Protein backbone atom coordinates (compact mmCIF):
# COMPACT_ATOMS: atom_id res chain seq x y z
CA UNK A 1 0.00 0.00 0.00
CA UNK A 2 2.96 2.42 -0.01
CA UNK A 3 2.19 3.43 -3.62
CA UNK A 4 -1.42 4.18 -2.72
CA UNK A 5 -0.34 6.23 0.31
CA UNK A 6 2.16 8.19 -1.81
CA UNK A 7 -0.47 8.73 -4.50
CA UNK A 8 -3.02 9.95 -1.95
CA UNK A 9 -0.52 12.35 -0.36
CA UNK A 10 0.49 13.67 -3.79
CA UNK A 11 -3.12 14.29 -4.86
CA UNK A 12 -4.06 15.88 -1.54
CA UNK A 13 -1.05 18.22 -1.69
CA UNK A 14 -1.84 19.17 -5.29
CA UNK A 15 -5.47 19.95 -4.42
CA UNK A 16 -4.46 21.95 -1.36
CA UNK A 17 -1.87 24.04 -3.26
CA UNK A 18 -4.22 24.61 -6.21
CA UNK A 19 -7.07 25.74 -3.99
CA UNK A 20 -4.79 27.92 -1.85
CA UNK A 21 -3.53 29.65 -5.01
CA UNK A 22 -7.11 30.53 -6.00
CA UNK A 23 -8.80 31.18 -2.66
CA UNK A 24 -7.41 33.78 -0.24
CA UNK A 25 -6.83 32.40 3.29
CA UNK A 26 -7.70 28.87 2.18
CA UNK A 27 -7.34 26.19 4.86
CA UNK A 28 -7.76 22.52 3.93
CA UNK A 29 -9.07 21.68 7.41
CA UNK A 30 -11.93 24.17 7.02
CA UNK A 31 -12.63 22.95 3.49
CA UNK A 32 -12.87 19.33 4.64
CA UNK A 33 -15.37 20.31 7.34
CA UNK A 34 -17.59 22.22 4.90
CA UNK A 35 -17.68 19.82 1.92
CA UNK A 36 -20.03 17.19 3.41
CA UNK A 37 -22.63 19.83 4.30
CA UNK A 38 -22.53 21.23 0.75
CA UNK A 39 -22.83 18.01 -1.22
CA UNK A 40 -25.95 19.41 -2.95
CA UNK A 41 -23.87 22.36 -4.27
CA UNK A 42 -21.13 20.22 -5.82
CA UNK A 43 -21.33 18.48 -9.17
CA UNK A 44 -22.16 14.82 -8.37
CA UNK A 45 -19.32 13.47 -10.52
CA UNK A 46 -16.80 15.79 -8.84
CA UNK A 47 -18.09 14.83 -5.40
CA UNK A 48 -17.77 11.11 -6.21
CA UNK A 49 -14.28 11.68 -7.57
CA UNK A 50 -13.21 13.53 -4.40
CA UNK A 51 -14.58 10.74 -2.22
CA UNK A 52 -12.85 8.07 -4.32
CA UNK A 53 -9.39 9.63 -3.89
CA UNK A 54 -8.96 7.99 -0.51
CA UNK A 55 -10.45 4.65 -1.52
CA UNK A 56 -7.84 1.92 -2.14
CA UNK A 57 -10.21 -0.31 -4.12
CA UNK A 58 -11.00 2.51 -6.55
CA UNK A 59 -7.29 3.30 -6.89
CA UNK A 60 -6.52 -0.36 -7.59
CA UNK A 61 -9.26 -0.62 -10.25
CA UNK A 62 -8.06 2.58 -11.96
CA UNK A 63 -4.46 1.36 -12.02
CA UNK A 64 -5.48 -2.02 -13.43
CA UNK A 65 -7.59 -0.38 -16.16
CA UNK A 66 -4.73 1.98 -17.06
CA UNK A 67 -2.26 -0.91 -17.08
CA UNK A 68 -4.51 -2.98 -19.32
CA UNK A 69 -5.04 -0.09 -21.74
CA UNK A 70 -1.31 0.66 -21.97
CA UNK A 71 -0.12 -2.88 -22.47
CA UNK A 72 1.56 -3.34 -19.11
CA UNK A 73 2.98 -0.04 -17.85
CA UNK A 74 1.13 2.70 -16.04
CA UNK A 75 2.54 6.21 -16.51
CA UNK A 76 1.34 8.61 -13.84
CA UNK A 77 3.10 11.62 -15.27
CA UNK A 78 5.93 13.07 -13.26
CA UNK A 79 4.77 11.37 -10.07
CA UNK A 80 6.07 7.88 -10.83
CA UNK A 81 5.84 5.06 -13.38
CA UNK A 82 4.70 1.55 -12.50
CA UNK A 83 6.02 -1.39 -14.55
CA UNK A 84 5.31 -5.10 -14.47
CA UNK A 85 7.58 -6.99 -12.12
CA UNK A 86 10.52 -8.27 -14.15
CA UNK A 87 10.31 -5.53 -16.82
CA UNK A 88 13.70 -4.04 -17.52
CA UNK A 89 12.30 -0.89 -19.22
The residue among 67 and 85 whose pLDDT is bigger is 67
Element (H, E) at 22: helix 2-22
Where are the domains positioned within the chain?
2-82
Angle, helices 2-22/56-70, rounded to nearest 10 degrees: 100
CA distances from 70 to 57, 75, 89 (A): 20, 9, 14
What's the rounded mean pLDDT across residues 25-34?
A: 88
Model pLDDT, residue 73: 62
- pLDDT given for residue 56 in this prediction: 92
Q: pLDDT digit string (tens) for 31-84?
A: 888 888 988 898 888 888 888 888 899 888 888 887 787 776 656 565 555 455
CATH homologous superfamily of domain 2-82? ADP-ribosylation factor-like 2-binding protein, domain (1.20.1520.10)
Amino acid sequence: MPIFNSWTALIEKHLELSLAARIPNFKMEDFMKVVPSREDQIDPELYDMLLSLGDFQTFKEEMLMAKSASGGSVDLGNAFVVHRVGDKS
